[in-house]
Amino acid sequence: MPERRERGIGPGARLLEWRRAAGPQWLQAVEADLGSPLLGVGISVGRGDALGLQPLSQQVSRLAQPGRQPIAAVNADFFFYPSAEQPGIPAGATVLAGEVIRTPFPRSVLILRPGAPPSITLLSARGSVSAGERTAGLDMVNQPRRTGALVLYTPWFGAGTRTNARGTEVVLEPEDRRFRHGVSQGVRVVEVRPNAGNTGMTAGRWVLSGSGAAAGFLDTLKAGQRLELRLDFEPALGPEDQVVAGGPRLVRDGKAAVEAEGGTLGGAFAGTRHPRTAVGLAGSRLVLLVVDGRQPGYSVGMSLTELAEELVALGCTDGLNLDGGGSTTLWVRGAVLNRPSDRRERPVANGLVLFSEAPQEEPIRLTIMPTEVRALAGARVKLVVGGEDRHFNPTPLPVPPLRWVLPAELGSVENFEFRAAPAVAPPPGAEAVSGQLEATMGALSGRITVRVYPKPAQVFVSPAVIRVKVGSPTALQVRAYDTAGNPLELPDDVRWEADPALGQVGPDGILTAAGEAGKGAVRVTVAGVTAEAPGEVSADR
């Protein structure tokens, strides 16, 4: 793999980063040996007690507990957004430690089974509601009610069922607040509500909702009556299994096999390069893979076939596509490491999380963040120093003062800020001056590579095509890269200018559109290299 970098992040877990010139494409992967007794894998769900959207970093922070710390995570299933019926609800099956949170959609899922390697499969469900001798089929759990369907809603779905009044809804008091698969569960009818919708839910209450023939079945129920509910999966799941969905399957038996599932291969979804997230398996080995996209000069993303081939190249025997686009997120040890195409961390429905159960021990080295610096002359970069034990756990640092060692031609460090030299002259054949920045504290030390560039190889304005409305402000961004496509830290003296027909742009990159419709361009100059983006002002307000 060209330009590959790697570092340990936990016992039996490492972070890989590499670039492919075709595109270009910037990839990152977390590789973990789940055979290690100190590693585990699980899922994060919505807001923790209800489905919905939340940034992955916030979801992961909820899961930290003594003796079990999240060390890596990626976004997982697709979700409905925006949607009045399902705001932020995952598209496919979700099962959390045996509790059914959502029934399947016809796309593959990842099954996490205690004491066994993860697996990928298509999952189906079959349910029933029994009232004495009478039984009706339970069609779905926590999904919008379709005509003629019988649906169970639990508080995971939110404050209400969000259904219309063309049906009957029955409020239930369950004997077990968790709706578990593979067992019959007793419930007591609290209230029958004919011709009603959007019934509210509170803790300890479920709602059965039906229309058509299903509503007719519910109309016969009486308050105080005991029912039995049951849901079984095919293939069967264990009582503590966890399930998170994605799709389509990308790899089968060690070969790229992008399989048609649930409409995922139609249109531009499969063949166009987008940011992507995937999970790969090889026995007890787990691979969490992301590729950034929609960022010319840095990374353009991958098609599903390219993504499948990358998983095969990583040695995966099975692979599953997860949600991508602006959702693609890789979180490692407290920080989002990739560059989401939305230029921010997008709230997502759920995540796939790697945990370490290694005990915290004495620090054996210092860590410096970022793990490397690539900066243009005159740029400034904040540095964070921490301690790390042999399991890669962050640990408290001792008292002795911190000392920095850095070649003078690269710059200086003051108050935990690296200040690149205002001018550098790389040796013949090199585009940067490079060296090691070392931090020492007593017997502990750590170092990173620093590269300072006199000018960038490429500069881009984002968005690449600017479309604004009359008089409205728009935030523009500039990105600079070296010849290998690595992003560079920018100096303060970035110069913006705009054609008057487009508007005015300030030193902060905020473009204020002109007062009438027109066309023009924005230009930005970084260390003597200029980039331009065309733009148009629309009269629509």
Mean pLDDT within 157-186: 96
CA distance 162 to 165: 10
| Sequence-ordered list of residues with C-beta below 8 angstroms from that of 7, at least 6 positions apart, any chain | 14, 15, 371
pLDDT in tens, 50-79: 999 999 999 999 999 999 999 999 999 999
Look at residues 262, 233, 203, 208 and name the one whose alpha carbon lies nearest to residue 100.
233
Tell me the pLDDT of the chain averaged across its residues.
95
| Sequence-ordered list of residues with C-beta below 8 angstroms from that of 414, at least 6 positions apart, any chain | none
CA distance 249 to 263: 12
pLDDT at 367 over 60: yes
Record the tokens describing residue 223, joined without a space: 């308050």
pLDDT in tens, 72-109: 999 999 998 777 778 889 999 999 999 999 999 999 99
Sheet of 150-153, strand order: 134-138, 124-131, 226-234, 185-194, 168-174, 206-210, 150-153, 140-141
Look at residues 75, 51, 69, 65 and name the one whose alpha carbon lies nearest to residue 336.
75
pLDDT in tens, 201-228: 999 999 999 999 999 999 999 999 999 9
What pLDDT is recorded for position 265?
A: 73
CA distances from 82 to 53, 177, 348 (A): 11, 29, 12
CA distance 357 to 54: 25
| Sequence-ordered list of residues with C-beta below 8 angstroms from that of 388, at least 6 positions apart, any chain | 363, 364, 365, 366, 367, 394, 395
pLDDT in tens, 485-516: 889 999 999 999 999 999 999 999 999 999 99
Set out the domains of the chain in order of their start, with CATH numbers.
Answer: 5-81+242-356 (no CATH), 124-234 (no CATH), 365-453 (2.60.40.10), 458-538 (2.60.40.10)
Find tokens 């369907």 and name the residue: 149
Residue 473 preceded by cis peptide, ω within 30: no
Beta-strand pair 411-414/417-420? antiparallel
User: Given pLDDT bands bounded at 50, 70 and 90, which one contains residue 1?
Assistant: very low
CA distance 125 to 231: 7
Give the three-class secondary structure for 420.
strand
User: Given pLDDT bands bounded at 50, 70 and 90, which one contains residue 301?
Assistant: very high
- Which residue spans within 391-509 are E strands per DSSP? 394-395, 403-405, 411-414, 417-420, 433-441, 444-453, 458-462, 466-469, 473-475, 477-481, 495-498, 503-505
Is the distance from CB of 383 to CB of 363 less than 8 angstroms? no
pLDDT in tens, 308-359: 999 999 999 999 999 999 999 999 999 999 999 988 999 999 999 999 999 9
What pLDDT is recorded for position 3?
A: 65
pLDDT at 263 over 80: no
What pLDDT is recorded for position 266?
A: 72
Residue with the larger pLDDT of the pair 82 and 139 = 139
What pLDDT is recorded for position 541?
A: 55
pLDDT at 4 over 90: no
This model's pTM is above 0.85: yes
The CB density around residue 190, as the number of other CB atoms within 10 Å, is: 15
Mean pLDDT within 418-433: 98
pLDDT in tens, 452-462: 999 999 999 98
The CB density around residue 495, as the number of other CB atoms within 10 Å, is: 12
